[in-house]
Every structure is written in structure tokens, then in C-alpha cells.
């Protein structure tokens, strides 16, 4: 458990199960959506500003079970900020974001935004994806460990399982973060440029893993890869730019 606490602390700016953010991930009861409804997340007139700079303003959006949403728009337009708002890593400066009671979220940040100097291994990092999707504060089960081992194999990480994350290449680190996001069997996956540094084989395996979850998991993804997006039908496009979403 010490390494889990360490991962939480070290990656506090990106990983959604950080202790500072529990009040965002697990909001007060009066800010929860019904557990038996198909709406996972509701953005109501939400805004995000840094001082006088307004990044996103007056957003009204809903994410429902099995939605597949692609965020498009120019670099710097607010796509990553929107994902972080949805993950609970940033509080809105106005308005509100309501989440379904018990919502399990898997979040893939951009790999370059995480400091990898913390002494933890590939397997420990992937396994930590379970903490935040149902076993936070509890115990890891045999099923969690089995799923972790399966994902390590799928993404060609088994031989690297004991390697410190500081020693990974960009592609190996990206595959580790993808496996981590998938490990917890989340209700909602938030994926920021998941195809970065993936070769053709790994991209195919990533698509296959998403297809396995397609019927039961909502996906919100930032991606510019037309081939990846064409593998899925019924994709919604949210264009993020000029402070809004259209």
C-alpha cells in the first residue's frame, strides 16, 4: 500500500484518485446524479478561468452510458482542460459538474505531463488504475491482479513489469498509461491523445480493448487519428475552441 500512496502523491496533478480530489470525485450527495440512470456526467453552465483568461465558458453537455465522444479543435483550444474538468482534476470556476453516484472513471493524461522520477514499476503503475474505480481504500482482489496481468501481456509489457517507470521509452510509457486507464473497468474513460507513440500493432490492440468495452463504457477521447476513429460507429464530435464546445 505504500507504493500506491506514493503514486497518488507523486502524480497528484494528473491522476484522479489523489486524496486532494476526493471531494471532486465523490461529491456531496446533493450533487450526485441517480445511480440507476443512464446519465454519467452532466455539465451545467460550467466555466474554467485562470485569472482573467477564460478558457471554457458556459458549457452545457451530458455524457450518457455507452456514448463515444471525440474532442476536436486546435491545439491550446481547451480539449485537455475539458477532460480534466470531467475527471474532477480541475474544479469549475462557475457552474457545476454532476456525476452519477458511484461513477468509476479511468483517465489517461498526456504522457509527457507526468514526472516519472518516482520509484515505482510498470506493474505497480498499471495495478494502481484499480484504485479509483471501486477499491479505493479497500483491497486489491485476484480479479484486479488477473486483469493487470492480461493487460500487461496485451500491450507487450510483461517483460517490463518489474522495470522502473523512469527507464521506459516514450512508447512503453504510453502503453503503461493506457493499461492503467483500462485496468479498473471504468464506467467512463477519459483519454487524452491515446494513440501517441503507438505503432500499428499496439494501436490495433488498443482499438480491440475499446471495442470490448463499447457496450458498457462511455468514452471521451482527444484524437486526431482518422483511422482510429473510423473503427467505431456512432461517434459524437465535440469541437472545442474559442471558449466553448459546439
- Per DSSP, the residues of the chain read -HHHHHHHHHTTTT-TT-GGGHHHHS--GGGEE-TTSSEEEEEEEEEEEETTEEEEEEEEEEEETT-EEEEE--TTSSHHHHHHHHHTSS--SEEEEEEETT--EEEE--GGGS---S--BHHHHHHGGGTTTT-TTS---HHHHHHHHHHHHHTT-GGGTTSBGGG--HHHHHHHHHHHHHHT--SEEEEESTTTT--HHHHHHHHHHHHHHTTT-EEEEE---HHHHHTSSS-EEEEEETTEE-
Q: What average pLDDT does range 52-76 have in this prediction?
A: 94
Arithmetic mean of pLDDT, 13-38: 58
Q: What is the pTM of this model?
A: 0.86
Residue 28: per-residue pLDDT: 53
Higher pLDDT, 25 or 246: 246
Q: What average pLDDT does range 231-242 have in this prediction? A: 92
pLDDT at residue 189 above 60?
A: yes
Q: How many CA atoms lie within 13 A of 187 on its CB side?
A: 21
Residue 88 has what pLDDT? 92
- At residue 198, does pLDDT exceed 50? yes
Q: Can you tell me the distance from the alpha carbon of 155 to that of 153, in angstroms, rounded to the nearest whole number?
A: 5
Range scoring the smallest mean pLDDT among 138-147, 186-195, 216-225: 138-147
Confidence of residue 30 (pLDDT cuts 50, 70, 90): low
From 15-24, 43-52, 53-62, the region with the lowest mean pLDDT: 15-24
Average pLDDT of the residues in 52-74: 94
Give the whole-number percent of the chain exceeding pLDDT 70: 84
Amino acid at each position: 500500500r505504500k507504493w500506491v500512496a506514493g503514486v497518488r502523491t507523486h502524480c497528484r496533478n494528473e491522476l484522479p484518485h489523489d486524496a486532494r480530489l476526493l471531494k471532486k470525485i465523490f461529491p456531496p450527495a446533493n450533487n450526485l446524479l441517480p445511480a440507476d440512470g443512464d446519465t454519467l456526467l452532466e455539465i451545467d453552465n460550467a466555466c474554467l478561468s485562470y485569472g482573467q483568461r477564460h478558457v471554457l465558458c458556459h458549457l452545457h453537455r451530458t455524457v450518457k452510458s455507452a456514448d463515444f465522444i471525440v474532442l476536436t479543435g486546435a491545439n491550446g483550444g481547451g480539449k485537455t482542460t475539458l477532460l480534466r474538468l470531467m475527471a474532477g482534476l480541475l474544479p469549475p470556476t462557475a457552474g457545476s459538474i454532476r456525476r452519477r453516484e458511484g461513477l468509476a472513471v479511468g483517465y489517461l493524461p498526456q504522457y509527457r505531463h507526468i514526472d516519472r522520477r518516482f520509484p515505482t514499476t510498470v506493474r505497480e503503475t498499471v495495478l494502481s488504475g484499480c484504485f479509483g474505480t471501486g477499491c479505493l481504500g479497500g483491497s486489491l482482489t485476484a480479479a484486479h491482479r488477473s486483469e493487470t496481468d492480461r493487460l500487461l501481456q496485451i500491450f507487450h509489457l510483461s517483460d517490463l513489469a518489474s522495470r522502473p517507470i523512469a527507464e521506459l521509452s516514450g512508447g512503453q510509457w504510453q502503453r503503461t498509461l493506457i493499461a492503467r486507464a483500462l485496468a479498473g473497468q471504468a464506467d467512463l474513460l477519459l483519454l487524452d491523445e491515446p494513440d501517441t507513440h503507438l505503432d500499428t500493432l499496439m494501436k490495433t490492440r488498443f482499438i480491440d480493448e475499446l471495442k470490448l468495452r463499447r457496450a458498457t463504457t462511455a468514452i471521451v477521447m482527444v484524437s486526431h487519428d482518422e483511422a482510429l476513429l473510423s473503427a467505431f460507429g456512432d461517434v459524437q464530435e465535440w469541437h472545442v475552441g474559442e471558449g466553448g464546445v459546439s
